[in-house]
Amino acid sequence: MGETMLVAGAPASEVTRTIVRVADAYGMRALHVDVTYNSITTAGRAGDGAPVTTLRVVHGAAPDHAKLQRLQALQAEIATGIPLGEAELRCRDIRRTPFRYRPTVIIAAQALLAVGVAIMFGVNLLNMSLAFLAAALAALTQYLLARARVPYFFSQIAGGLVLTIVAALTPLLARTGWEQAAIIRPSVIVASGIVLMLAGLTVVGAAQDAIDGFALTALGRLLELVTQTVGVVLGILLGLELARVLGFAMEPPSQALPLGPLPLQFVGAAIIAVAVAIFNGAGVRIVVISVVLSFVAWAGFTATGAIGFDVAAASGAGAFAGSLLGTLIAFRLHVPSVAVTIAAILPMVPGAAVFRGLLTIVESGEDATLLLSGAVTLAGAATVGVALAVGASLGIYLGQPLRATLNGVTRARTRLRA
């Protein structure tokens, strides 16, 4: 169970608790569990038998929130006392369950995420369609490279390159005389794709593992996060340079991309949450909860921004609100908290700031002022990323004891009524 949960995207602390609780339910009470990045080591003895040490190595993570939900439900049933043989059969059945959605559905959901980001910026229908096309091509490229067993780092480079080339070519549509083509914003297309390509990264998981004391696991996930982010950056830089050489250079925006009307922001956030939940294999319940939490997180972001918080602080506040409520709801409705938390905070990922900073650096030439401006923009985007991780982790950290308290109160009331 622990191995499958780690593969499906559960944090190290949750994997450890599950292994200990299941072992305790079947009589192995003195069990040592060590989760280190992609390996699980257990050591213990059952009764008077000889000590047994087991090592399992996880070869690559594949987030599957529906499978994670079923494993959590199985753990709860094991605590009620189901026979060991039945538990083993059900666990084996869960492990062998194929991913809920076909690759075509996953690619469509990834492209839909880009549309959600575009809607948040209030662009026209043509711009949304181009964002969908660019994201779909990038997702298809990454899928084909994954099937060819190309390392994910190079897959990220390829995805970033495809996004940037498509965005750089979109101004050619203005030559057709089409009115909507004249107001296309290529920066939104790339920003949408950046959010998509950063959607699968483990920033929240890395921060949560660090807070929970799993330093080596957190360090491994953080290194993976940095490597994959660098892949996206290199792909975009390569695309920008190629576009410049071919005569399709994009002008760096002088200021941050403005968001669209507030109702469209919430619609876009909801679409992003749905898309993330789908391509992570979630069922209907997780999808609905993800949408609700995306509203909560974005409301926290806009409310704190309206009273004067800067973007990083407002992002952290929104992530905190979404993850805190998500931790409480996830327990009551038996869904993985990591699943709904990721979907809730993703609309606040600073994809537009990342692209603006990179574009400014590429087009700076020998202008030190532009170079510094691009570096400052990238630093601001990194600050937002850290704020999202800290806010989400803090919400989970505070939500767990609050959840336990509420659960204790519920049980006490049940006993009194009985």
Domain boundaries, the chain: 2-96, 103-405
Kindly indicate the confidence band of residue 108, based on its pLDDT and cuts at 50, 70 and 90: very high
Q: Which of 366, 398, 390, 363 is nearest to 377 (CA)?
A: 363
Residue predicted with more confidence, 413 or 3: 3
- Mean pLDDT score, 63-82: 83
Q: What is the mean pLDDT of the chain?
A: 83
Query: Between these two residues, 205 and 41, which has the higher pLDDT value?
Result: 41
Mean pLDDT, rounded, for 205-218: 76
Q: What is the CA radius of gyration of the chain?
A: 23
pLDDT of residue 270: 92
**pLDDT in the model for residue 301:** 92
pLDDT at 411: 59
CA 118 – CA 333 distance, rounded (Å): 31
What six digits make up the tokens of 341?
């938390």
Question: What's the CA gap between 329 and 223, in Å, rounded?
Answer: 31
The predicted model gives 52-73 an average pLDDT of 81
Residue whose token pair is 């209030």: 122
Express each pLDDT in 267-325 by its tens digit: 999 999 999 888 888 888 888 888 999 999 999 999 998 998 888 899 999 989 988 88
- The dihedral region occupied by 308, where left means phi > 0, alpha psi between -120 and 50, and beta the remainder, is left
Please report where in the chains the tokens 């609100």 appear, as a residue: 321
Please tell me the distance from the alpha carbon of residue 180 to that of residue 199, in angstroms, as a whole number. Answer: 29
Q: According to the 3-state scheme, what is the secondary structure of the chain?
A: CHHHHHHHCCCHHHHHHHHHHHHHHCCCCCEEEEEECCEEEEEECCCCCCCEEEEEECCCCCCCHHHHHHHHHHHHHHHHCCCHHHHHHHHHHHHHCCCCCCHHHHHHHHHHHHHHHHHHCCCCHHHHHHHHHHHHHHHHHHHHHHHCCCCHHHHHHHHHHHHHHHHHHHHHHHHHCCCHHHHCCHHHHHHHHHHHHCCCCCHHHHHHHHHCCCHHHHHHHHHHHHHHHHHHHHHHHHHHHHHHHCCCCCCCCCCCCCCCCHHHHHHHHHHHHHHHHHHCCCCHHHHHHHHHHHHHHHHHHHHHHHCCCCHHHHHHHHHHHHHHHHHHHHHHHCCCHHHHHHHHHHHHCCHHHHHHHHHHHHCCCCCHHHHHHHHHHHHHHHHHHHHHHHHHHHHHHHHHHHHHHHHHHHHHHHHHHC
- What's the rounded mean pLDDT across residues 263-269? 92
User: CA-CA distance, 382 to 353, in Å (whole number)?
Assistant: 9
Q: Can you give the pLDDT at residue 249?
A: 74
122 and 260 Cβ atoms separated by less than 8 Å = yes
Residue 356 Cα to chain centre, angstroms: 22
Q: What is the pLDDT of residues 9-43, one digit of tens each?
A: 778 888 888 888 888 888 777 788 888 888 888 88
Residue type, 240: L
Q: What pLDDT, on a 0 to 100 scale, did the predictor assign at position 410?
A: 58
Residue 354 near residue 283 (C-beta atoms within 8 A): no
End-to-end CA distance of the chain: 35
Q: What's the rounded Cα separation, in Å, for the pair 293 and 345?
A: 9
Does residue 285 contact residue 147 with C-beta atoms inside 8 Å? Answer: no
Tokens read off for 255: 């200021």
Give pLDDT, residue 172. 82
Taking the CB of residue 118, how many other CB atoms lie within 10 A of it? 28
Tens digits of per-residue pLDDT, 224-251?
888 888 888 889 888 888 888 888 777 7
Q: What's the pLDDT score for residue 346?
A: 84
Given a cut of 90, is residue 140 above it in pLDDT? yes
Work out the percent of the chain whose per-residue pLDDT is above 70: 92
Question: Model confidence over 345-389: pLDDT tens digits?
Answer: 888 888 778 877 877 877 776 777 778 888 888 888 888 888 888
Beta partners for 200? Answer: none
Nearest to 160 by CA among 185, 113, 192: 192
